[in-house]
Structure 1
Amino acid sequence: MSAPRRSVLALAVLSMLTEEPMHAYRMQQLIKERRKDDVVNVSQRNSVYQTTQRLARDGLVAVAATERAENRPERTTYRITDAGLATLADWLRTMLATPAAEYPEFPAALSFLPNLSPTDAVEALTLRVTRLEERLAALDREIAEVARFLPRLFVVEAEYQRQVIDAELRYVRGLVADLRAERITWPFADGAPGRFG
């Protein structure tokens, strides 16, 4: 049997189940309530169900109970197994210690920037600056709010995100300034998008 496939959502499910047995819908709601949906993609309701079922097949979680309320679909509550606890700890150690090759959209978009005109590029990047500033302000509010009633341990991921967004914001502001000052130019005489040959 192969090792269970690690994912951020699987990590979140296992972590939720260390608190108490629960059903997939409750896990999804807790992730959103705790604002962990900034780091765990739970936008598709079915993804939590599918991940929980995969973890059950892998023996990392097990059915704790199955209930059916009047006029409602059957609801299965899961609990974490000993193998799930061991896997959770192993995944956390690995994810904390090992930088992963990730493929975010923004660096990919930057690598194909010459396919836009300089004007379009500046316009899009300027809009990104505004959105990054808004995200930074929201994170500052979130960190301050959580710090009122929880220890810092529970906001370290938000602190990390804040640092990453702040660094990106500084970079994008500088890139926009360089584009506007024409310190970065297009390889085409008219500055129009085109293909490299």
Structure 2
Amino acid sequence: MTASSRRPVSNALGLAVLGLLLESPSHPHAMAATLRERGMDRAFKVTTGSLYDVVRTLEKAGWIEARETVRVGARPERTVYRHTAVGLDEFVRWVDELIRVPADEYPKFLSAVSYLGALGPDGASAALRERAVRVRARLAEARQRHREVLDTGQVPRLFVVEVEYGVRMLEAELGWLEEIVDDIAAGRLAWPEPTSGWVRGEGGEA
């Protein structure tokens, strides 16, 4: 049995909840707001229902516990959670494992780009250019969000290094997209002779 199979929650949202509680005790509503502010909802789906499910599961497992119930104004009461000693130890072990050991991931883009040739040179260039426009916009948004978080002076850089990592990944992807588009235009990326049904517009649609 692996370590991940023994965890009450093994998805990224569970890791995020535990990570936020490392910064300070919090209630689920505030957790969701923080995740969205930091753009983490791009990495995994954040909904009220899924977040409360994760919190309940972690509490049942003894990884977190209720510290207090608070009410602000006319808002509903909210339960503030914190780590237990066991939960903190397990969280540290989990983070250590994820950082040390690369895991197989299966992004949809990687699957699709494996068949870039099916679009033909013009189709491939058009598709990559459009993606580059979208990636460039996301990169600008991520950079702005990172600056805004740090400019508040309330969040240490250490707590938003994942945003820096996201920025670097977007920069790398954008650089690769622009390079491939240039290579197609310059003829440096050779296209094989079309076969029936393989290249769109050559012998049928792909």
TM-score by length of 2: 0.75
Letter in 1 for 2:61: D
Does residue 169 of structure 2 align to residue 161 of structure 1? Answer: no
Letter in 2 for 1:116: L
Question: CA shift at 1:65, angstroms?
Answer: 5.1
CA contact (8 A) 2:13 2:46 kept: no
Identity of matched residues, %: 36
CA contact (8 A) 2:135 2:170 kept: yes
Match of 2:104 among 76, 96, 101: 101
Match of 2:182 among 177, 182, 197: 177
Classify the secondary structure of the residue corresponding to 1:22: coil
Moved more, 143-152 or 165-174: 143-152
Match of 1:88 among 86, 91, 95: 91
Match of residue 126 from structure 1 = 129
Moved more, 2-11 or 119-128: 2-11
Q: Deviations over 1:75-114 (max 9, x none)?
A: 5443321111111111121122222211112111111324
Match of residue 35 from structure 2 = 31
Structure 2 vs 1, CA of residues 126 and 49 (structure 1 numbering), >3 Å: closer, same or farther?
same
Question: CA shift at 1:15, angstroms?
Answer: 2.0
CA–CA separation in structure 1 for the residues paired with 2:65 and 2:77? 16
CA contact (8 A) 2:32 2:46 kept: no
**Alpha-carbon RMSD:** 3.3
CA–CA separation in structure 1 for the residues paired with 2:193 and 2:60? 54
Letter in 2 for 1:7: N
CA–CA separation in structure 2 for the residues paired with 1:36 and 1:94? 24
Letter in 1 for 2:17: V
Match of residue 144 from structure 1 = 147
Classify the secondary structure of the residue corresponding to 2:6: coil
Moved more, 16-25 or 50-59: 16-25
Classify the secondary structure of the residue corresponding to 1:78: strand
Match of residue 22 from structure 1 = 26
Classify the secondary structure of the residue corresponding to 1:62: strand
Please show how residues 186-197 of structure 1 align to structure 2 within 5 Å: 186-189=192-195, 191-192=199-200
TM-score by length of 1: 0.78
CA–CA separation in structure 2 for the residues paired with 1:73 and 1:147? 30
Match of residue 56 from structure 1 = 59
CA contact (8 A) 2:26 2:80 kept: yes
Q: Deviations over 1:103-145 (max 9, x none)?
A: 1121111113244343332221101111222222233333333
Q: Deviations over 1:137-178 (max 9, x none)?
A: 233333333443354324422222222211111111111222
Question: CA shift at 1:48, angstroms?
Answer: 0.9
Moved more, 128-137 or 175-184: 175-184
Structure 2 vs 1, CA of residues 187 and 24 (structure 1 numbering), >3 Å: closer, same or farther?
farther
